[in-house]
Structures are given as structure tokens and as C-alpha cells.
Amino acid sequence: MTIFGAGTMSNLSRTLAVIVVVAAIAVSGCAAQPTQITILATNDIHGGIEPSVAEDGTIEGGLAAFSGTVKAIRAGLKTRLGEQVGVLVLDAGDQFQGTLISNHNEGQLVFQAMSAVGYDVAITGNHDYDFGPVGWLADEPTTPGQDPRGALKAALTHAKFPLISANTFLRSSLQDAAGNQVQVDQQGCVPKVQGNHLPVIDWNRAASPDFLKPYLIKEVAGVRVAIIGIDNVFTPTTTTAADVSDLCFDREADAYLRVRSQLDGQADVFVLLIHDGNTKDTNDLSALVELLISSSQPKRGAVVDAVISGHTHFTYNRTVGEVPVIQSGFGGDAYGRIDLVYDPKLGRIDRAKTKSYAGVKTFLNKCAETAMDYCTVDAVTHVVMYEGAPFQNDDSIAQLIAKERQAIAPLAGQVLGHATAKVVVNRVDESAVADELTDLLRRISAADVALMNTGGIRAPLDQGDVTYEALFRVIPFNNHGVVIGPMRASLLLKALSQSAQTCGTYGALMQSGLKVEIEKDCDAPANRDHIDPKAKLTHVETLGGKVLLDATGACPASAPGEDPMLTVATLDFLAAGGSGYDMFKGVPQIKDIGIVREKMKDLLINAPKTFKPDDMDGRWAVHKPPPN
């Protein structure tokens, strides 16, 4: 039995829901013995549906291998535990956006493959909204009739599982108890003051987009499991703004607890599926879980029994107040597992029997070290066994991928250059890839300065031919290049100052056309993977020698009162204030030069480039502050 959440309910719907719930209680009450609920989860696949090859030649990851793993675990557990076990397969968002093979068909292949795996439910991530209207090179509406989420809806016609999010709402549906429209901020759905009055939202009136439900209740081996989805609150600034302009994303704790309260007594086990997470040195998700479990306790069951997370691309397996919290990297090469044991005599999960695993890689002929509790290799046949059942790569998914691979081959294989060795990227500091890309953008646009955010430079270039597909992995987004300005140098310096402070919590701005010197220390324990609030620009000048800022005293800066005007080429995402660079909002647009990646391809296909890992000129020089 499966129950989907709905935004509003009529009296008849409520009556039917009560009947269903009573029947479900009767079913779950029949489970006299403890029942194991095994959750297998992925996150941030980002189009990584094909296997990859490690440096030692080992083949790992991909949805065909994950599907084979799921099927073996299901079969093995069924043989061992019979009717007292069930398996759920979940995904914590950002299923596509990152590879040509996923983007060319706008996510349809990914959802087809996930359906073949047998996913039960997934949540949206911020990048689920990137595709915009139907058309693989169109990322936002250009005419009034275009649906800003048309591509996502088209992809969903190929999915045999629902998308859920309990904190995503149509802004136009938010009203107070009297039915008056409530204006809100997109981040957090926070009401705006209207006159001298701060309105209060009546959430019973709120509506979600038609392709989303807030939760899923699924009966697993006689136990009712509620999966509540929570999307990332910062989605409006981490996807194409025009595609979510009519939406807001409510605060995580508020949205979860509101739905959890509604479902009290309707489920036995509660799982939070969230597109947000911890990092190496930040624990925002752990703090959220602590807040949830310290809130008013429901009449039945726990506030939350397990948390599957994503977004930050980290791997961790933590326990917060006896609640397992996992995330398993990104790119489709690993999954996580949580085993929960529901004891009907206790009326809840037996915490002492919970097991959890994160970042478990899938291989064709060996077990991951993190899976040794349930994975072996047969000594005679050398077949990988999960829970005692043989693993077999899913050929149906491999065939789906092979068909699409053939379709994109002419486009994917276009040669644009050559990399003499692996050319890496850097989220915080200058890299050869960022230098080359910003130089290309400045050349194409003829602007004074070019800016790109490192969050949009996604992957390194491997040694060998640089093909269109390789460039696509680096720049998978269909961002347009725009020239904005003339912009005052002081505004540009404000953006560069904000960029200078990041130590990884948000992407830096890489540039062409300037020489920038910065004083900061990301190695200080308090600043690692966060920000250095004391970081500052010490010197900025144009390639023509015009000094825009000098804090060293070595060079004369602009004369008092002088604020030179510059033209700046950047991405439309940044020009709209994306990644928190909202100082660019409102700067006039001079021209739109089209999709940046496609313009770079056109330039490189006629003049191939040699990419070298050490080809940097020090345009973004970082120095540590002098000792106190």
C-alpha cells in the first residue's frame, strides 16, 4: 500500500484517508515479530549513470551496477528473513545535470534508468530545476507560453516513482486565515511586512507545484514508513532564477514538523529525505536533526527515525541523538544503507539494532570495504554476493545507456583541444581551467573583465583529447554569457571582496582582465571549508595598468572620487545575483552572447587549444596575513 501526500483535503478525502489509515493500522498490527526495513539511498547522481574507471583500471559505479546490487540485496534478505524484511530505494536530489548523456535528453534517461532500478521515491534538488522549458539548450522561458519546469515534467513521464518536497510552495497560494495574499521571500517563505502588519501564513491553504507531493507513506513488510521530502532552502540562488521565480522554499524544520504533526498515527517509521547536508567542518544538518528531536514529541512514534541527505557532496555516516544520518558523495559511484528494526512490542524502532553505511561503492568483481558486513566474493565462482545472493550487472540499464551513447556520439566526440596532463579545478583559488575559460569568455565578449563562479566549473580535464563531452563535464549548465555595465569599479571590487572571503562554503569568482592580490588564511582552524571574515583585497589593477585598489601603499590607487567604469562579461546566473553575488542585480545588460559553453565550442573547434596543468599567470594571488 502506498499513500501520497496532498496539499489540501476535502471532507470526503479525509474520510477516505481515515479508512485507509485504519486498514493500515490493522495490517501493521499483524506484524508480531520485529521487522527489518533496509533503506538503500543515493544522492547527487548528477547524471553519473555510467560506470567510471579508476586510476588502477577498476570499473566502479553506475546505475546498472547499483541496480544489480539492489536486486541482490532484496533477494538475499528475502531468503534470510522472509516476510519480516522490506527494502526501500530512495534518492536525495540532483539526479541529473553534470553529464552530456543525462542533459542531452533533459533527464529522461536518468529517470528511465532509476525506474529500472526500482526507486520508490526521490526528492527534488536545486539542479532539478536547471533545465527550464523543454529544449536541451534552453534553460529558461523566452516566451510567455513556455513552462519554466516543462523539461522536468517531461522527464517525470518516464519515472515510475514520485518526486516529493514538503517545503516547496507556489508563492501565489500563500494566504492568511482570511484569504488575503501573503507576500514572502523565496528563501524560507518568510512573510514580508505589509504596512504595519506582519501577516501569518495559513498553511492549510498553501499549494505545492502539481508535480510534487509533500510525502510518501509506503507499507514495507507490514510497517508503514513515511518519507518526508525537504528541498534546499537556497534553491532560488542555486538554480536558474527564472525557473523558480513563482516558488518559495520553506524553512526545513518548520516544514518537516508541520507534516510530521499531520501524519501522527498514520505511519510507524519516519524518514527525512533532504537535499542539504553537513560538510567536513560544518554541521548544519546535524543541528537541524538535533532541533527536530528536541521539539515537542508526537503521540506516536519518533519525530524522525533516519535521515538521508545530499547536496554538499560529502560522505559521512553519523548518529545524532540515536538517529542515523548519512550522505554518500556524488556522481553515481556510491550509495548508502540504513537497516532499521521495527519492534511492534515497543511500537517503535529498536535503536540498538540500527546499522548504517555510507559511501559504499559498487564494483563488478569485488566488495567495497564498507560493505564487508553483507558482501562476499564466492571463492569458487568469484561472483560477488550480497546478503548471500549473487550480484549481476543490470543489462537492461546498460542497453538504455548504450542506445543514448550512440545517439550523442557525433556531438560528444568533437575534438576541441588537447590536455598534456590532467588539468584540475579549484573551488577557492586560481586554476588553469578557470584561467582558460575566463580568457575565452573575455575574448568572445570583448569586455574589459570576465567573471565566472567556480561553482559552475564542475570537473577537471583528463589527459588526452579535450572533446565536446569533456568540456560539457566542466561546464554542464546552459548559462548564457552576458555583458553588463558600464559598471563602477567600486561595485566590481565589492564582488571580488566577497569572493576573497570564501574558503569553500561558496564558490569564488575567477576572472580575466585583472591582477588581484588577496590577504587571507583558509588554513586557520576556524576558517577551513568556511570563510575568512578578515580576508581582504590588497591590490587590484587592470591588465592595462590602471590601479583600482591598493592597500599596500606601494602603488597609487585611483584619484579621490574617481570610480572608473568597466564592462563585465559574466554568466546570466551571476548577473541575476546567483551564488549570493546580489550586487550584480540591476546592472544594465549590454548584450547576450548566447550559451557560454556553445560559444567556446565554436571558437575551439576552429582553433583547438592546448591545456596545461601549470598554465597559470598568478592573476588571483593569495598571501597569508603577517603574524601578529
Alpha-carbon span 242 to 140, nearest angstrom:
6
Stretch among 34-48, 51-65, 334-348 having the lowest mean pLDDT: 51-65
290 — phi, psi (to 5°)? Answer: -60, -40
> Alpha helices of 244-332 — where are they, by DSSP H?
252-262, 284-293
Stretch among 165-169, 255-259, 295-299 having the lowest mean pLDDT: 295-299
Q: Is the pLDDT of residue 167 over 80?
A: yes
Q: What is the pLDDT of residue 163?
A: 98
Alpha-carbon span 278 to 454, nearest angstrom:
20
Residue 316 near residue 276 (C-beta atoms within 8 A) = no
Q: What is the pLDDT of residue 280?
A: 84
Q: What is the pLDDT of residue 558?
A: 59
Q: What is the pLDDT of residue 562?
A: 85
Instruction: Find where cell 558482501 sits.
Output: 375
Q: Is the pLDDT of residue 73 over 80?
A: yes
Q: What is the mean pLDDT of residues 300-329?
A: 97
17-54 confidence digits (pLDDT tens): 443 444 444 444 444 799 999 999 999 999 999 999 88
Q: Is the pLDDT of residue 100 over 80?
A: yes
2-9+11-403 and 413-623 in the same fold:
no
Stretch among 35-44, 51-60, 371-380, 391-400 having the lowest mean pLDDT: 51-60
Q: What is the mean pLDDT of residues 446-473?
A: 96
**Domain limits of the chain?**
2-9+11-403, 413-623
What does each C-alpha distance from 9 to 201, 204, 225 come to in angstroms? 18, 9, 21
If DSSP codes are grouped into helix, strand and coil, which group holds residue 5?
coil
574-598 confidence digits (pLDDT tens): 999 998 999 999 999 999 999 999 9
CB atoms within 10 A of CB 524: 14
Torsion, CA 609, CA 612, CA 618, CA 621, rounded to 10 = 120
Average pLDDT, the chain: 93
CATH top-level class of 413-623: alpha beta
Q: What is the pLDDT of residue 6?
A: 65
Helices (H) and strands (E) in the chain, counts: 13, 35
Q: Is the pLDDT of residue 14 over 80?
A: no
Q: What is the pLDDT of residue 3?
A: 79
Q: Is the pLDDT of residue 13 over 50?
A: no
Q: What is the pLDDT of residue 22?
A: 42
Stretch among 27-31, 128-132, 225-229, 402-406 having the lowest mean pLDDT: 27-31
Q: What is the mean pLDDT of residues 413-430?
A: 96
Alpha-carbon span 557 to 345, nearest angstrom:
76
Q: What is the pLDDT of residue 21?
A: 43
Q: Is the pLDDT of residue 302 over 90?
A: yes
pLDDT-derived band at 237, boundaries 50, 70, 90: very high
Task: Record the cell numbers describing residue 191, joined without a space.
Answer: 512573510
Instruction: Find where cell 505545492 sits.
Output: 208
Which positions ≥6 away from 215 have C-beta within 8 Å?
4, 5, 164, 166, 226, 227, 228, 229, 259, 263
pLDDT-derived band at 11, boundaries 50, 70, 90: very low
If DSSP codes are grouped into helix, strand and coil, which group holds residue 429?
coil
Q: What is the mean pLDDT of residues 400-421?
A: 97
Which positions ≥6 away from 418 have C-beta within 8 Å?
464, 465, 466, 608, 609, 610, 611
Q: What is the pLDDT of residue 505?
A: 84
Q: What is the mean pLDDT of residues 412-426?
A: 97
In 62-128, beta strands by DSSP E = 85-91, 121-123
Residue 163 near residue 122 (C-beta atoms within 8 A) = yes
Q: What is the pLDDT of residue 181?
A: 96
Q: What is the mean pLDDT of residues 484-488?
A: 97
Q: Is the pLDDT of residue 421 over 50?
A: yes
Task: Record the cell numbers describing residue 266, joined without a space.
Answer: 498514520
Q: What is the pLDDT of residue 526?
A: 76
Q: What is the pLDDT of residue 25?
A: 44
Q: What is the pLDDT of residue 524?
A: 85
Alpha-carbon span 254 to 167, nearest angstrom:
9
| CATH number belonging to the domain at 2-9+11-403, selected among 1.10.10.10, 3.20.20.70, 3.60.21.10, 3.40.50.720 | 3.60.21.10
